[in-house]
Structure 1
Amino acid sequence: MIFKTGRDFALELDREDSLSRFRESFFIPKHTDGTESIYLCGNSLGLQPRQTKAYLNQELDDWARLGVEGHFHAANPWMPYHEILTETTAHVVGAKAHEVVIMNTLTTNLHLMMVSFYQPKGKRTKIIIEADAFPSDRYAVASQVQFHGYDDKEHLIEWTPRAGEHTPRIEDLEKLLKEQGDSIALIMVGAVNYYTGQFFDLKKIASIGHAAGAMVGFDCAHGAGNVDLELHDSGADFAVWCTYKYMNSGPGSLGGCFVHERHANNSDLPRFTGWWGHNKDTRFKMRDDFEPIYGAEGWQLSNPPILSMVAIRASLDLFAQAGFKNLREKSIQL
């Protein structure tokens, strides 16, 4: 293909694009003169799928008609509703089904993961983040360091670009770990940096982090639904993300969480617990002892907000129809 800069070439690519029909699946904001905007803000808030309203109305109608019985007898029963989202979510982020769960919001999930995977002990007390990390990540990580009684000015280490450059190099992270590896408890970086767009080599970072004895986690807010994360194959211990950006689930919608399967039944990991993470077979027996569900579901706290999950499902159904591999190929072509 010979690339051209004119509008005619862009229109030609549109005509040849097998995914072009999905444009009609979304509402596109319009200017005051009625023309459609060129929407380049999906990194902040994805557009609303046209089918979202119908999906929401189904649950509102079932709530009105059934009340509490909707948990069992709605068209899409609410008790296991989050499970409807699991397979497609796992496919989008490159994980096994039992490694992912939709719950809470991004920074809440990050804190829950750090309860389990940031366990400072002895000399190993520090956390590495990338320079220009999203501010909420920095706030969360710094507060976890402080919670454990350490000074974040000393125990929060930045992986920085070289002078005159704008993106950090993986070899500099390796050097940092060679110099301070025995003091690093956790590496927690954004899979795609929100400021530069740099897509990190997650598998490489996890490998060198584990070799140094550290846990490794990723904030995938700008990666989920956007790039091939391949979280299972990366070997990361955990990952978190939001769904309101590239996954088009609406403002402030629920986030997602990945826990690698090697931790699926690890009773040695501390965690904050709630009843929705308890064994589904005995959850309503209100037992005194907590028995976590195998996999990422075991980190759930409360019963999920169905109306938010409905909006996620409306978008995920489009992902399933389009195929994430096809979406990524188009992204690269663009």
Structure 2
Amino acid sequence: MEFWSKLPAIFKKDVIGNLDYKSRCRLRKCSKSEKNLVNSCPVILDSVNLEPRIGNQIYFSIEQNGILLNDKASEPKLVIQDFLLIFKNRKSEVKFLTVDHYNFQRQPDAINNLVSCLLSDGNNLKLKIQKLKFQYGEIDDRSLLSFVKAMDSKTFDSLAIRKFPIKTQAVLDELVATEQWKTLKELRIDEKISIPIYIFLHLESFSLSYYSMNSADVWKCIEKFRFTKRPIFSFFEIFVTREFSISDILSHFDVRPENKPIGPEYVNNAVQHTQIFKLSWSNEQLFVMKIGKRFLRGAICRKDFLHEDYEKLEDL
């Protein structure tokens, strides 16, 4: 420790930059000067998980390079303090944050309370979180909106949620107006929604479920992907309860409908039609559109690797 105390700050920062998060936290507790030094060094974490549990506890885990660095349940106040410490340096980042809650029927407001405490203790911090996933449990519309607003819009690019809580037009309009929504690239909503599809067409990729969808809205999705430049592997998929009218969808095509299956199709004939569209902005990529009775899936693929590229997306 004597050797460490004599090191110039610039060398200490180099050492801290190579420490894992757990070691940083230990060093942070040594003294106020070490605390300030650690806070001055950004950290990038692969995965963080927050999970409210019965007994006024929150499970908090951190994973880095496949190694579990933190794995414990504590009282909410301590967990929130530790979580917010990650962002003490404004350049620190979490690549993937998962919020789980398996006992949401017994604790219906647990995630709302967690979000409220995070935001009130965060002193208007902008959280540099790349991907946010609500895997289990429920969150209300205002809590989701507030949490999204707390994200750093230059970092935040992906949201996955089981049940989308926003039902009213006023809250939806407020969400859509945020910079975080405008810069969002990926969205997945598991349970069925009734939100107009145009709300999502700025996204690079999305997966949604509806009770039904008309052929005109299906065509809007296809057109958007054909004529607006997107990265390779961008895709959309839509699942419905009420069967699509395949003939109605094909009637909107501005090219001749040609069923061109790629790779082995499903044995149960789930795919009714496969159309391969040219793209207005690339000669090296194509848009592959598969249409089933209750699902659609379209993807940007390399023209010489259509099956391989599309198959990767089916495994997501």
For normalisation by structure 2, the TM-score amounts to 0.31
In the superposition, the TM-score normalised over structure 1's length comes to 0.30
**Could you say which structure has the higher strand fraction?**
2
